[in-house]
Structure 1
Amino acid sequence: MHASESRAPPLRAPTVASQTERSLTPASPTIHPSWRQVSFEEQATVLRENLAEVLEKEEEWSQAAQTLAGIDLDSGVRNVDPAYKLRQNVRIAMLYLEDDDPISAEQFIKKASSLMGAAKDELPGSCQPLLRAVVLERILRRDEVELFGGTLKPHQRALLPDSTTVLDCAVMQHNLLAASKLYNNIYVEELGALLGVTPERAEQVAADMMQEGRLQGSIDQVASLIHFADREEPLVPWDARIKALCCRVNDIVDAFTEHPEASANARAGGGGGVGG
């Protein structure tokens, strides 16, 4: 008998098979670091918008505004639409107004106004005059306020205990600050007419703003007159220096007039200075 030969199983072609398997295995994509950052910022934006919406429904106005303000609108990684920036800044400003914080609101109103040129068609026409007036620190007219108020939601027009709205209070305080830049003083009755409120209400608003450090001035209750703090004009220091120099020159001329020998010595020792 012939010894049975042990035959090994046929060998597979490892090279071809491995190449085929490798070709069927999906390659892990190479993600650029900036793409990851863009994705992270977009997700963070969505989360902040959703959280702000929840806070707004709970009437946590200031927290909602701060949440939206945390969105990076000036990121150098992703391109943010100017219209989106504009809407966000207006929304943040309105939330601060809802919380009776016109100072914080004004900061975002000015930001929104600077974006009006890039996204002017995205902003309701009723908003543009008011935003422009705020930036220019001009007194807001009643018709401008009414047009802007028409864009507010019902809860944003809710009445406060004194039968005014948050917008009314914000406009009143803005107009009072604008008036302080136009007048050195004003009678309480005239201020009330300017603000569209009673003289008593105008005086109370001015007193509150002065106490909070938001308005510089004083109130003369006897004369019913409000004095705004003096604002030094840009040319006042320059005029003062010129006046001081002229006075110094006059002093020198007077000294030479009283002591002519000093004038003669000065000319003799001056090496041919100003001739007589």
Structure 2
Amino acid sequence: MSESGQSFLEEVKKNLTEISNSKTPSQRPPAYLAILRDILAQPASVLPSNGQYSLKEAVSVYLAYTALSDTNATGGNLVVGRQVLRDFDEAIVEAGKKHRDGQKDDAMTDSKTISAIADEDVQIEILESALEQLQPRVLSFEEQANTIRLHLADTLENAEQWIEAARVLQGISLDSSHRFVSDLHKLRIYVRIVRLLLEGDDAVGADTMLKRASLLVHNIPGVMSSSFGISNNPTLQEAWAKMSEEEKIEAKTLGLQFKLSQARIYDSQRRFAEAANRYHEVSYVTEIDEAERTMMLSAAVTASILAPAGPQRSRILATLARDERTASLPQHTILTKTFLDQIIRPNEIKSFEKILSPHQLASLPKSEQDLIRHVRSSKDKQNGDVAMSGEYEEDKESSRTGPSTVLDRAMMEHNIIAASRLYVNITLNGLGRLLDLHSLAAETMVRRMIVQGRLKAEIDQVAGLIVFHEQKSREIGLAAGAASGAAGGKETEQAKQEQGQGEDDDLSTVYTRRWDANIAKSASGVEEVCARLRARGYLKV
């Protein structure tokens, strides 16, 4: 350390000691603050060598001789130490802002005359050092330490150091026995930590913090409860009446941030069905900017397409396909084809791949079991074993043993569902060629979907066939309708309409006609029940 720097620190110590000895408790905080402002205003050239660490050392000396000294941190003088820490945090914020603004106004200012506090990294160093000094006495200065942590988190967030900012906020004591902390304040901190961790791509940590937040969201009116839910809950109604307008607005904002964070976590965890529901729900909130609502809707469509093929995915796709806003999205074409259970071609998959996020294109681990079975089958062929039903045609068999990415798996499962709508049965080799998979890998995918209840089919390994139950039952229904005369003719016509084989053979209206048929059937049942009630005198028109 240079002589000028050493003399500067010695002078600071001397002045602070003199104030502690000569001033009354009420006079000390303003006198301390004047010295702190003088320290923060010093240019880096006046301080000891290396302005960043020298200023940190000067501030460390200031805290040691003021807030953390035995004179101001014990007994009745503890209130002085707390006031000094409050003034300290405000002075850091004020000095940083003042010098940043001054630097913008005068771009030609000599760097030697600019205070070191203008540097964002210097502020981070100072605040981290202050928290380290406060740690041994944190029980005495808990509230002041939390305030400094919030300031440090703001600075780190501005510097886009997301994970570090989240860790600083995690150090805030929210379950203190020394002071009351409202549920709204706890939720504010938890949701902010979740959002910072998501920005830093730490979905596991974000999920942990979101679970803590989920314990609070139903206790705060306006966060998850609608106006109807609040009016039917006396406790929430009373709490809502006590909240200020600012708190009500904040509660609603936190609720939206919670739902969006939940959707992003589901998305990162590849729980695409749940993510699509959450994104779509948020896209209807009118308080959100129109551009952001469109982004949420686009994310919902993408997640629904990547969701595991099955009944749940079909319901989500139906909801999104009927949403008029999806017509303007780039995914509209592939959304329509997935909704109508049509085969997705490789070129369409490549176009869709361009708009996906990295985690939606993550590689999947190869199935060791499938690889072993593939090797064994290859050896069998080399040894002259005869395969049944032409299952192993060497010129047509793919070498792929499973989907390689998340997108691959979603599209293959969808094409299996699409095949079940087109065929009564299909050979394992034929399905393998459709999916560009080895027949054993295709069989494994079908088997898994059957076990999970996402596909109604059976596998005939002797014949090398997959028999789709849903399509088979439709064919039986059509045959029975054709043999039942005039009454059967109506059923056949209805069955043809369900299949999209009526006069208007437009696939885009298949599900609309099926929906209309279900409504007509329900209405007929209601009329029959009403007729019976009228006949017995229970219903009067």
* Fold equivalence (TM over 0.5): yes
Partner of 1:19: none
The alignment status of 1:62 with 2:62, answered yes or no, reads: no
The alignment status of 1:241 with 2:484, answered yes or no, reads: yes
Moved more, 131-140 or 157-166: 157-166
Partner of 1:194: 434
Aligned-residue offset at 1:90 = 4.2
CA distance in structure 2 between the partners assigned to 1:107 and 1:60 by the alignment: 21
Partner of 1:231: 473
Q: Which one-letter code corresponds to 1:113 in the other structure? A: A
The alignment status of 1:44 with 2:259, answered yes or no, reads: no
- Equivalent residue of 1:130, what SS? helix
More helix by share: 2
Partner of 2:315: 107
CA distance in structure 2 between the partners assigned to 1:219 and 1:159 by the alignment: 28
Go from structure 1 to structure 2 and tell me whether the alpha carbon gap of 1:226 and 1:114 turns closer, same or farther (over 3 Å shift): same
CA distance in structure 2 between the partners assigned to 1:136 and 1:81 by the alignment: 31
Give the gaps of 5 or more residues in structure 2: 1-226, 229-244, 367-402, 489-541
- Equivalent residue of 1:140, what SS? coil
Aligned pairs (5 A) from 1:69-148: 71=281, 78=286, 87-92=295-300, 94-95=302-303, 101-103=308-310, 104-115=312-323, 117-118=324-325, 120-121=327-328, 123-124=329-330, 127-148=331-352
Aligned-residue offset at 1:217 = 2.0
Computing the radius of gyration from Cα coordinates, the structure with the larger value is: 1
| 1:68-101 deviation digits (Å, cap 9, x = unpaired) | 25846557xx588887666434424545677x63
Aligned-residue offset at 1:209 = 1.4
- Equivalent residue of 1:232, what SS? helix
Partner of 1:13: none
Query: Relative contact order (C-alpha < 8 Å, sep 6+): which is higher?
Result: 1
CA distance in structure 2 between the partners assigned to 1:211 and 1:51 by the alignment: 29
The percent of aligned pairs where both chains have the same amino acid is 28
Contact 1:83 1:118 survives alignment (8 Å): no
TM-score (norm 1): 0.59
The alignment status of 1:210 with 2:450, answered yes or no, reads: yes
CA distance in structure 2 between the partners assigned to 1:67 and 1:217 by the alignment: 28
Moved more, 101-110 or 66-75: 66-75
Q: CA RMSD, aligned part only?
A: 3.8
Partner of 1:155: 359
- Equivalent residue of 1:218, what SS? strand
CA distance in structure 1 between the partners assigned to 2:349 and 2:447 by the alignment: 24
TM-score (norm 2): 0.32
Contact 2:280 2:300 survives alignment (8 Å): no
Contact 1:82 1:118 survives alignment (8 Å): no
Contact 2:308 2:413 survives alignment (8 Å): no
Aligned-residue offset at 1:113 = 2.7
